[in-house]
Amino acid sequence: MGRESAAELSDLGHIAVPGRGRNMASMTAVVEAEGLTKFYGRRKGLEDLTLQIQPGEVFGYLGPNGAGKTTTIRLLLDVIRPTSGRATVLGADTRDTAVRARIGYLPGELALEGRDRAHDFLNFMADVRGGVSRGRIDELAERLDADLSIRMGQLSKGNKQKVGLIQAFMHEPELLILDEPTSGLDPLVQQEFLTMVREVRTAGRTVLMSSHVLAEVQNVADRVGIVRGGRLVAVEDVAALRERAVRHVEFHFDAPVPPEAFEGLPGVRDVVVAGASLRCTIDGRPDALIKAAAKFTVVHMVSSEPDLEEIFLTYYSEEAPRAHAGA
């Protein structure tokens, strides 16, 4: 575990990765970037991004602020133009205007101003995109608990974000591009938002969402890509990442257990046996540990939720240059 796999996995960004057991090779990528590069004068925004996002996939796009997430997203929406390289969205060139009716977009720095009331603004957005089904806007407003009778310029930050989410979701777009979607939302609304994202995936539609923390996307994303300093340094399958996760596990038995029974198990570290209880750390699959513990009578078991963030940071803060060299 570690070096080679990090380097190897970083290669996955360059090829279609089958997600959730589907045969993706036969489908056209929803987002496809090839050598996408953007310089703002001399300042690097994004360099040589090659990436494919498949239909029905939720792709988490991670990186610290200023790493190039928003640059990528603005390039995909043709708000800014690439210095070199190319990108297609839903099979069309990013310059193709018509395709944007099939995209829902939430900007990272959402600005909503003016005296229009939120529902008038949403109706306008819906009209230009060719209309939304009846009652759809109200339904979303109810789910997110948004008040649409307020003038846009007077909306609170949280309410602006809700209006932004409604306009992104309301026309049931084939591709959702969400830049830091959960910023400013309270936890309850965040949960509702994540439910909405899962519904979109269930319907076979595609989501690209950015965040600066993995914890925000790990429960909905199929894959995550990490961008750092304008470069995509890794693309990971979340399920695989979870498998490699470090977990702290505790077993309580009905009688004291012999420490030897838990020695030398693959992937099990820091074993501490104290009478009838066992504490240890596992890397990846818990299988060997469970089978060893099954020989005794287990009264109680505690397993902490794996902290993917931790793995991510340990791998990519130290090994990013190496992984990058492999890519």
Partner 1 sequence: MPTLVRKTLRDYRRSVIGWLIGISAFLSLYLSIYPSIRSNPEFYQQAALSKYPGPLKDLMGGLADIASGTGYLQTVVYQLLVPLLLIMFAMTLGTRAIAVPEEEGTLELTMTLPIDRRRLVLERWAAFALGLLAVALVTMVLVLALSAVGDLKVPAGNIVAAHAGLFLIAFFFGTLTLALGAATGKRALALAVGGGYAVGGYVIETLGKSVDAISWLRWVSPFHYYLDGRPVFQGWPVGDYLVLLGATAVLAMTAMLAFERRDVGV
Binding residues (CB under 8 A) for partner 1: these are: 40, 74, 77-81, 97-101, 103, 105, 107, 109-116, 120, 124-125, 127-130, 164, 167
Asked if 46 and 40 count as a contact pair (C-beta separation under 8 A), the reply is no
Q: What's the min distance (Å) between Cβ of 124 and partner 1?
A: 5
Q: Which is nearer to partner 1, 75 or 245 (CB)?
A: 75
Q: Which is nearer to partner 1, 113 or 305 (CB)?
A: 113
Q: What's the min distance (Å) between Cβ of 112 and partner 1?
A: 7
Q: Which pair of structure tokens corresponds to residue 84?
A: 């070199």
Q: What's the min distance (Å) between Cβ of 224 and partner 1?
A: 24
Q: Which pair of structure tokens corresponds to residue 117?
A: 């009331």
Q: Which is nearer to partner 1, 25 or 111 (CB)?
A: 111
Q: What angle do CA 222, 25, 71 make, to 5 degrees?
A: 55
Q: What's the min distance (Å) between Cβ of 88 and partner 1?
A: 16
Q: What's the min distance (Å) between Cβ of 102 and partner 1?
A: 9
Q: Which is nearer to partner 1, 113 or 318 (CB)?
A: 113
What is the C-alpha separation between 161 and 164, in angstroms, rounded?
5
In 238-297, which ranges are E strands? Answer: 246-253, 268-274, 277-283
| Spatial CB neighbours of 89, under 8 Å, sequence gap ≥ 6 | 30, 31, 32, 76, 77, 99, 103, 175
Q: Which is nearer to partner 1, 129 or 248 (CB)?
A: 129
| Spatial CB neighbours of 29, under 8 Å, sequence gap ≥ 6 | 16, 52, 53, 54, 55, 88
